A and B are shown apart, each in its own frame.
Chain A
């Protein structure tokens, strides 16, 4: 059984249908990429999975539990973390306070300290800047903070929405290295990216989203060599 099973979900913003019945599966330990152009519905899909939006039709199962109508704040403690688009760190709180906020649902004080040490290990820069306000960090550092904050809840799966957006090439490489590292430590990753080349190069499998529907799916290595993908998303 897949860890995350999305079945035929349809999502509306008011009268406008943003997702027209998509299905996808994420197995434990996989990195799954969701690629597609602007407005294809990538972010909406993630928002629906993490509970910020409720689908009109279809179902979402997570570890065998139906979470279709479960609100976002309850899904977190079930083991799902969502690194939102645009990072959305708490600008007026310190780096440390942001990370603590990530552990909001946890009550095991001692273990939280261990997780914090693990996050600082992944992101030494966050440790250096732990007392700095998050709003004063650079974009790349904010992305690291958003990822570290997500890890603080000890998720089984991490949803990442455009982690490379607006970052300098050096940071982009660093962020993708870290995503691979996180996955190698046993976390499952569902990655939404406009940088399709990068995403496909680290993913196991991928789905291609076009105006609210999935038009293609398969092994990331195969999609990377697919002519239509190359033309539409890889700029080759």
Chain B
């Protein structure tokens, strides 16, 4: 019974990783860059909700909507100001370093505005907990909402990519920017849209993360961001279902190793498994590896 409840918590944590990993994987797939500031968008989303609920007295749902809108705009802004000018610079390293810079910028901006003290985040979830097996297994409302949200987002995203023109444009740009342009696709707009979606999802991840682990500091997004990046690589970076699988497996491994092995070693175990997976299958679980035909 204990195992079941750990397992469910693992799926829940993994769902959050999966939602964050989506942002990494989509941006990587389409703009071919690692946006290391992605995790910090989560933190920004957390603070926006915190301010909206605790200071402005708004209800949880409108607060989340505001956070999603503002984070979406922030994502588009960061891409326009920091990454787009470097897109044709010919060095992916320059963009990577810039992304790390943006990450520190966001963290320090939060530090300046909110200070370093931990803020107590009020859960945005109002769903009651579910009791199973005469109360031996309790599934919290946060877990229920997180897992359901994750699957809804995944489903919506798959539909969006396969059924809409903008989604098709993303597929085309991810494969070949030049050829996509020759189809009449606006590559810059498509990249902006990708950042917008990823950052909006990061705000939702922020709401779920801070509800499950109700402390908020300027560094809240940093570790989950890195782990979600690991999840994206683990599942096969560039692959949307890969982000889901990678995220959930990672969440389960983390919670189970915390419970049964050592809470101090759990991160080392997570990263150790990543190394092993990459040694065996460098493209990740669902990584694409189609040979180009000449």
Contact = CB atoms under 8 A, between A and B. Distances in A.
B161 to A, nearest CB: 12
Contact of A93 (B171, B185, B186, B291): B171
Interface stretch (A4-12, A31-39, A56-64, A82-90): A82-90
Interface in B131-182: 165, 168-169, 171-172, 175-176, 178-179, 181-182
Interface residues of A, number: 34
8 contacts: A76-B183, A90-B172, A92-B290, A100-B168, A104-B172, A104-B184, A136-B293, A138-B293
A88 B176 contact: yes
Give the most central of B179, B184, B187: most A CB within 10 Å.
B184
A100 B172 CA distance: 11
A92 B292 contact: no
B241 to A, nearest CB: 14
A51 B168 CA distance: 22
A230 interface: no
B288 interface: yes
B1 interface: no
Contacts of A136: 293
B294 A139 contact: yes
A135 B181 contact: no
Contacts of B293: 91, 135-139, 142
* Residue with the highest number of chain B CB atoms closer than 10 Å, among A72, A136, A153: A72
Contacts of A77: 184
Interface of A: 50-52, 71-74, 76-77, 81-82, 84, 88-93, 97, 100-102, 104-105, 133, 135-139, 142, 149, 153, 166
B178 A91 contact: no
Nearest to A81: B182
A43 to B, nearest CB: 11
B288 A92 contact: yes
Contacts of B172: 90, 93, 101, 104
A73 B175 contact: no
Contacts of B186: 71, 73
Contacts of B187: 73
A136 B291 CA distance: 9
Contact of B184 (A73, A88, A97, A142): A73
B182 A84 contact: yes
Interface residues of B, number: 22
A90 B179 contact: yes
B148 to A, nearest CB: 30
B184 A105 contact: yes
Contacts of B288: 92
Contacts of A92: 171, 175, 288, 290
B203 to A, nearest CB: 30
A166 B169 CA distance: 29
Contact of B294 (A76, A97, A104, A166): A166
A90 B176 contact: yes
Given A93-B171, A105-B184, A88 B178 contact: yes
Given A88-B178, A90-B176, A102 B171 contact: no
Given A88-B179, A93-B175, A153 B184 contact: yes
Given A88-B178, A92-B290, 13 more contacts: A50-B182, A52-B178, A73-B181, A73-B183, A74-B184, A81-B182, A91-B293, A92-B288, A104-B169, A105-B183, A135-B290, A135-B291, A135-B292
Given A73-B187, A90-B171, A104-B183, A84 B165 contact: no
A138 B294 CA distance: 8
Contact of A104 (B175, B178, B185, B292): B185
A55 to B, nearest CB: 17
Interface string B275-294: 00000000000001011111
